[in-house]
């Protein structure tokens, strides 16, 4: 296989010993299984359908709109990548008519295809609500139902046999397109090529110690860009048995039940809250269990890890501006809680990245990923070759004062804890909005006092406790742009 071919996100990276099991979301029974050969054939079937019926072309865009992903959803992602399609990820759900033209849907232009879960009669199976269906129909040219994989006949055996070797992507083809968090203005479109995603995924498999023979539990976070690089693909690189839980990732009891019942080794735990919920729920384990998260591990979670005999949790410090996971830090049974520092993110672990700190900001360079020094102005310091995250370095002016975003984020976390509140800057309106997901009057007072101590004029202009964070959660971040627009509407209606 050529170097170029090896960097394509194709079946070539799937461990030959792979077995895939799909679990019922209620009973956790295995309801569907396939081995490596059957999975490869499923990829061929998807490619045949896409080429024979829909005449897909490299460079076109596809949304894999599966709310509860199963084996066929994993296969169609590989099929789309091999055909050179760009996977659109991090599309938020729609909860009403005001969401239908959210910038996150229009920033990519008209999406060429959506592959959606359909019932045997061909009707679209709703993921959360009817607004999702309307959103997809409005912004996608052609909708492909999962039931077509069975109903579309293979009339051209020669074409079908050619699917195995039909690789239309190149290492420079765009593999993933998504949107940034939109902290101040509208989200920015970000892209990653096959080379980018392949090298990052392979790196994460090695650094996160995804071992041959291990089993992995997949959940509904599959279609986030970060999840693809740091969890979905690494497990196929190095793991053997894949378990797909088709229920809600937030159902901690079922997730824990699957890990215990099938002796699963690797679990993707996404946010700090998911880490804590998982560790709090799981009993003391008698088999090796490791986790991967996109957030820092708290002291409370570290204590639970030791109590429950969990092997390790690997946290990934990434940068959406640069587009990669830069540092990994693993906590395990040997980690000393008494000297634990949450903001320590890791050391330089391989030759993929070079780091330097100038004026307190981290700059990154990568020869293998072909970019020179970049920075998102995250504030860092390096002590004894260990890197410590000191907060975001963005500064924005409200009135006559400059606000430090990193300091504000830290103050919100100090007052409310992790993921319990979000502060939004409305730069155009010169206002600050506070959305509290879990009502906490004491936290609100503490935050207001913090503003009074640190700023002369700036304070919180509006507080809401009436919104559901789930409606604004995209990838691992709150969609602050959408939240900003929602709060503007609430103010306008008063």
Q: What is the mean pLDDT of the chain?
A: 86
How many separate domains does the chain show? 3
Confidence (pLDDT) at 166: 93
Give the range of the structural domain holding residue 422, as residue numbers without chain letter: 395-492
Length of the chain: 494
H/E stretch holding 195 reads: helix 194-207
Q: Are 51 and 167 in contact (CB under 8 A)?
A: no
pLDDT digits (tens, 9 = 90+) for 79-97: 999 999 999 988 877 777 8
Give tens-digit pLDDT for 49-68. 999 999 999 999 999 876 56
Same domain, 193 and 270: yes
Q: How far is CA 297 from CA 250, 267, 301, in A?
A: 18, 15, 6
- The angle subtended at Cα 309 by Cα 305 and Cα 311, nearest 5°, is 80
Average pLDDT over residues 203-227: 78
Query: Looking at residue 1, what is its pLDDT?
Result: 41
Picking from 330, 346, 362, the residue at the C-terminal end of a domain is 346
Task: State yes or no: pLDDT of 38 exceeds 80.
Answer: yes
The CATH code of the domain that includes 325 is: 3.40.50.980
Q: What is the pLDDT of residue 314?
A: 92
pLDDT of residue 463: 92
Question: Does some domain include residue 369?
Answer: no
pLDDT, average across residues 333-356? 90
Instruction: Average the pLDDT over each of 76-85, 98-107, 251-260, 475-484 and give the range with the smallest value.
Output: 475-484
Q: In this structure, is residue 444 part of a structural domain?
A: yes
Q: Are residues 419 and 290 in the same domain?
A: no
> Which of 331, 346, 361 is where one domain is finished?
346
Are 192 and 308 part of one and the same domain?
yes
Determine contact, residues 142/172, Cβ cutoff 8 Å: no
- In this prediction, residue 68 carries a pLDDT of 62
- Phi, psi torsion values for 213, nearest 5 degrees: 95, -15
Residues 198 and 164 in one domain: no
Residues 337 and 194 in one domain: yes
Does 342 score more than 50 pLDDT?
A: yes
Is residue 289 within 8 A of residue 315, CB to CB? The reply is no
Domain membership flag for residue 219: yes
Residues 164 and 56 both lie in one domain: yes
Same domain, 342 and 404: no
CATH of the domain at 110: 3.40.50
206 and 305 inside one domain = yes
Q: Measured between alpha carbons, how far is 171 from 453 in angstroms, rounded to an integer?
A: 52
**Model-wide pTM > 0.85:** no
DSSP H or E segment with residue 372: strand 371-374
Residue 359 lies inside a defined structural domain of this protein = no
Banded pLDDT at 224 (limits 50, 70, 90): low
Could you report the per-residue pLDDT of 405-451, keeping only the tens digit for each? 778 888 888 898 877 898 888 877 888 999 998 888 999 999 999 99
135 located within any domain: yes
**Cα 115 to Cα 75, 76, 149, 207, 217, distances in angstroms:** 12, 8, 11, 33, 23
| Residue 457 scores a pLDDT above 90 | no
- Asked whether residue 97 falls in the same domain as residue 239, the answer is no
Same domain, 162 and 275: no
The answer as to whether 379 is a domain residue is no
* Domain CATH code at residue 484: 3.30.300.30
d(CA 306, CA 279): 10
Same domain for 161 and 195, yes or no, is no
Domain shared by 335 and 407, yes or no: no
Residue 2 has what pLDDT? Answer: 46
Please give the C-alpha separations between residue 171 and each of 47, 136, 174, 176, in angstroms, as whole numbers: 19, 29, 8, 12
User: Do the domain assignments include residue 165?
Assistant: yes
The verdict on residue 387 lying in a domain is no
Instruction: Please state which of the ranges 156-170, 189-203, 312-326, 356-370 shows the lowest mean pLDDT.
Output: 312-326
Whether 119 has a pLDDT exceeding 80, the answer reads no
């Amino acid at each position: 296989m050529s170097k170029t071919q090896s960097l394509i996100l194709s079946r070539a990276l799937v461990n030959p010993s792979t077995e895939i099991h799909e679990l019922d979301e209620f009973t956790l029974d295995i309801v569907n299984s396939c081995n490596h050969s059957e999975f490869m054939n499923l990829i061929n079937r998807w490619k045949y359908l896409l080429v024979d019926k829909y005449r897909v072309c490299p460079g076109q865009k596809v949304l894999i709109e599966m709310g509860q992903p199963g084996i066929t959803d994993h296969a169609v992602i590989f099929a789309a990548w091999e055909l050179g399609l760009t996977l659109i990820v991090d599309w938020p759900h729609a909860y009403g008519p005001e969401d239908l033209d959210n910038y996150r849907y229009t920033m990519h232009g008209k999406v060429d295809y959506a592959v959606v879960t359909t019932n045997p009669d061909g009707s679209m199976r709703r993921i959360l609500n009817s607004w999702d269906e309307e959103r997809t129909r409005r912004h996608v040219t052609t909708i492909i139902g999962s039931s077509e994989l069975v109903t579309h006949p293979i009339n051209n055996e020669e074409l079908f046999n050619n699917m195995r070797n039909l690789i239309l992507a190149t290492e420079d083809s765009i593999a993933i397109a998504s949107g940034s968090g939109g902290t101040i203005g509208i989200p920015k479109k970000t892209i990653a090529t096959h080379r980018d995603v392949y090298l990052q995924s392979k790196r994460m498999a090695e650094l996160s110690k995804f071992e041959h023979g291990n089993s992995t539990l997949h959940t509904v976070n599959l279609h986030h860009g970060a999840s693809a690089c740091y969890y979905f693909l690494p497990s196929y690189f190095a793991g053997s048995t894949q378990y797909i839980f088709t229920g809600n990732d937030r159902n901690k009891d079922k997730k824990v039940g699957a890990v215990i019942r099938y002796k699963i080794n690797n679990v993707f735990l996404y946010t700090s809250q998911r880490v804590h919920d998982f560790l709090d729920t799981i009993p003391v384990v008698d088999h090796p269990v490791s986790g991967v998260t996109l957030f820092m591990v708290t002291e409370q979670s570290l204590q639970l890890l030791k109590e429950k005999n969990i092997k390790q949790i690997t946290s990934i410090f990434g940068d959406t501006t640069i587009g990669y996971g830069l540092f990994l830090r693993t906590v395990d049974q040997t980690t000393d809680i008494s000297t634990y520092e949450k903001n320590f993110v890791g050391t330089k672990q391989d030759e993929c990245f070079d780091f330097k700190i100038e004026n307190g900001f981290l700059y990154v360079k990568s020869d293998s990923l072909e970019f020179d020094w970049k920075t998102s102005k995250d504030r860092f310091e390096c002590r004894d070759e260990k890197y410590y995250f000191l907060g975001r370095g963005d500064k924005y002016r409200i009135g006559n004062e400059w606000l430090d975003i990193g300091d504000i984020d830290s103050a919100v976390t100090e007052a409310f804890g992790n993921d319990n509140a979000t502060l939004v800057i409305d730069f155009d309106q010169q206002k600050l909005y506070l959305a509290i997901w879990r009502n906490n009057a004491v936290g609100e007072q503490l935050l207001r006092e913090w503003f009074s101590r640190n700023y002369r004029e700036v304070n919180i202009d509006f507080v809401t406790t009436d919104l559901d964070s789930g409606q604004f959660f995209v990838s691992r971040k709150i969609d602050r742009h959408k939240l900003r627009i929602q709060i503007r509407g609430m103010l306008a209606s008063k």
